[in-house]
Structure 1
């Protein structure tokens, strides 16, 4: 029998909560019967959406009316107190009552409250925000996406270890191939921090991954590497650029296919290929960023996603727990 995975859910974060959150939970449970949801939020708002949709044995509601607002600064969110749905959900994983915590709420507040409540994994200085990106050959893990604007070579080496551990926990049959995001592929390009990191990773005996050197922005989707490492400033710009480009391509393609009669006929003839193309760029499929470096897994769902996207981020929760992410990071850091 599969182990029951306990997921602490902040039900009040993000657009359309708690309905979207509960809809996502119900959708996720269909294919994940070994999941148990500890749901934190306003019971009176949650119950109407969950009644008769989930067996009572699969969830428990922890009532609180206090929430972290999306407009709060990270510090304001933390100052709202220990009775907010976000804080209580994180506290649940801190006390080992849950295996993983997820929120679609305020990203900055989630990071700050997580760092207040959870310890860092030994020998790691900073947590990183990571996410999954599609490439030509499958998927890549990319980090850091904004948690740390400035990073030292040690931080970037830690990110390489954590990113490869995350990739292996999600894709245990694949080999992790790490590259540093840089302005060129030549060894002498980049600032002193990234060049120093390159030298140290090149000399390091990397048991947990293969170091592939530098990667440029126009190679991110090639699939030759599957763990891409950057400081939070560079990684966040790359993320927003990729999201904007994907949105532009899909909107322009839709416009071209519906603007005139020829376009409409063409779209009908190619409807199967268009559906595949749209699905490949659907951001809901890749929803679920992960804070790595803390001693418990913390998952951030995009606040604007729908219930399908939230369900997919719940799948990230179950996969990182099943894949022993924290143990993998500890083992690889110690090596």
Structure 2
């Protein structure tokens, strides 16, 4: 476990609000994790204006001016052409590559961040397509779900590799020696689903993967039950599942709000049950689980939701802090190096 100061690189220009959201988020994270320090990249005038309200954060930060920020709607190829080496996103990644910072946090364009991270940091040996992994709250605790948006369409080998990456993350973050892994599918029967998913299931079922325990296929309604520690899917379905869960949480919260104010009896019931409602609201708050990590790169990169507020961004920063503190990158590298040597994965193409 890493002790002492943990320095993070921040792309302050990412997200819908840029520095006006990111900087207050850093201030919130610093109160919770006092050993943090920051290298902040972006428009210096905007950052200094925002950080002037937070003197303790200013004392723990270095600001680096960049002329270019990546638009939220830019295509990955456009982002590479316009922002390579000069944008706030790229320079934040470069600071991790150069060892100045231990992880990058950005609320910027997901596709652009993935493209730049792959180009700048490169993938680990044996990982063809890094995955975006999220920590998902469940009835039993928390699970790792990947991929939630980095790859649209994957092959059998990618799915198997992502299972290894997710299991390694589960061991490092949750301390589970042999995580239970499931493949997201349209049914639990082995004959269902796409050919790539069925083939990946057979490899995980029959292969020698001592770092995980394959539990078979899981369906969408199993994710929240927490029946497995790691749920593996490709980025299209994973992102839809993530956004659906976030939307459903907000929908339920709105239903409760509307119902509580409808009658006097309901309002009295709310007063009596207020502590229970507060716990429910806290559990369902998507800001508390904001932040996903790109797994399989030679460096830690955390993606925050672009539309979050400062409290959500603080959660992404805290996730980066915890992953550095738990030596996630080194532990994943060791696990992947050992597991990707197996003949089962070599034959999974």
- Specify the SS of the correspondent of 2:267: helix
Shift of residue 178, structure 1, vs aligned partner: 0.7
CA-to-aligned-CA distance 1:271-330 (integer Å, 9 cap, x gap)? 111111111110001000111111101101111111111111011101111222222222
Match of 1:95 in 2: 98
Match of 2:293 in 1: 290
**Counterparts of 1:66 and 1:236, CA distance in 2:** 28
Alignment of 1:172-183 (within 5 A): 172=175, 175-183=178-186
Q: Could you tell me whether the CA contact under 8 Å between 2:136 and 2:145 is conserved in 1?
A: yes
- Specify the SS of the correspondent of 2:72: coil
Q: Which runs of no fewer than 5 residues in structure 2 stay unpaired? A: 339-349
Shift of residue 59, structure 1, vs aligned partner: 1.3
- Specify the SS of the correspondent of 2:4: coil
How many residues are aligned here? 335
> Residues 71 and 192 (structure 1 numbering): CA distance in 2 closer, same or farther, change over 3 Å?
closer
**Counterparts of 1:199 and 1:13, CA distance in 2:** 41
**Counterparts of 1:244 and 1:75, CA distance in 2:** 30
Shift of residue 174, structure 1, vs aligned partner: 6.4
Q: Could you tell me whether the CA contact under 8 Å between 1:166 and 1:320 is conserved in 2?
A: no
Match of 1:61 in 2: 63
**Counterparts of 1:26 and 1:73, CA distance in 2:** 31
Match of 1:46 in 2: 47
Matched, 1:18 2:19: yes
**Counterparts of 2:73 and 2:187, CA distance in 1:** 38
Shift of residue 60, structure 1, vs aligned partner: 0.6
- Specify the SS of the correspondent of 2:55: coil
Structure 1 ranges of 4+ moved more than 4 A: none
Match of 1:7 in 2: 8
Matched, 1:104 2:81: no
CA-to-aligned-CA distance 1:198-217 (integer Å, 9 cap, x gap)? 11101222222221111111
Matched, 1:154 2:160: no
Shift of residue 334, structure 1, vs aligned partner: 2.5
Shift of residue 172, structure 1, vs aligned partner: 2.0
Match of 2:319 in 1: 316
Of the three residues 217, 240, 252, the one matched with 1:249 is 252
**Counterparts of 1:268 and 1:278, CA distance in 2:** 15
**Counterparts of 2:58 and 2:47, CA distance in 1:** 14
Of the three residues 256, 261, 267, the one matched with 1:258 is 261
TM-score (norm 1): 0.95
TM-score (norm 2): 0.92
CA-to-aligned-CA distance 1:149-185 (integer Å, 9 cap, x gap)? 2211111111011111112222125652110001111
Q: Which runs of no fewer than 5 residues in structure 1 stay unpaired? A: none
Q: Could you tell me whether the CA contact under 8 Å between 1:26 and 1:53 is conserved in 2?
A: no
Match of 1:30 in 2: 31
